Amino acid sequence: MNWLRDEQRADGPRGRIGFAISARMSAPLHATLQALVETAWESYGDPHPAETRECADEPFVPGEKTEKKDRQPLRYVAIRIRKKQGEFFEDGSAVRHFAVLSNRWELKPARLIEWHREKAGTIKFVHDVIKNDLGGGVLPSKYFGANAA
């Protein structure tokens, strides 16, 4: 992430690289997500028959040692998924929280999530070809050394 944020990177292209990654759900981040006011949340994505999907800009500031004073802070976009009709998820929870971390401030929260997830469809196709067309789904031999080779 530091490499992406460094616009003067010596071992790569110069300039800004926009990125969005799934954030690790730390205890402080989860507490901040739960404390968001109800009016901060807005629906996003296509309507789902069994879930309500909402997103919001998250005013979270991590206590990372690698943060520098002169660097623009990263943006956290919160995601909240709730079951409709008062149902619970398999683990017994009523709400699931996720977050996306990005340096793209120009996009609305819903659009940032869509942009972040656009890559998911392309990699699935690659995995399908490797696994099914090229035989990557099964090991060719019962001997570990032969498979390693």
Nearest to 79 by CA among 144, 15, 30: 30
Q: What pLDDT is stored for residue 100 in this prediction?
A: 92
Task: Dihedral sign for Cα 65, 24, 112, 6, please.
Answer: positive
Q: What is the DSSP letter of 23?
A: P
Domain ranges of the chain: 2-118
- At 29-63, the pLDDT tens digits run 888 888 889 999 998 888 777 788 899 998 777 76
Which of 35 and 143 is assigned the larger pLDDT?
35
Q: What is the pTM of this model?
A: 0.70
Lowest mean pLDDT among 10-19, 20-29, 50-59, 90-99: 90-99
Percent of the chain with pLDDT over 70: 85
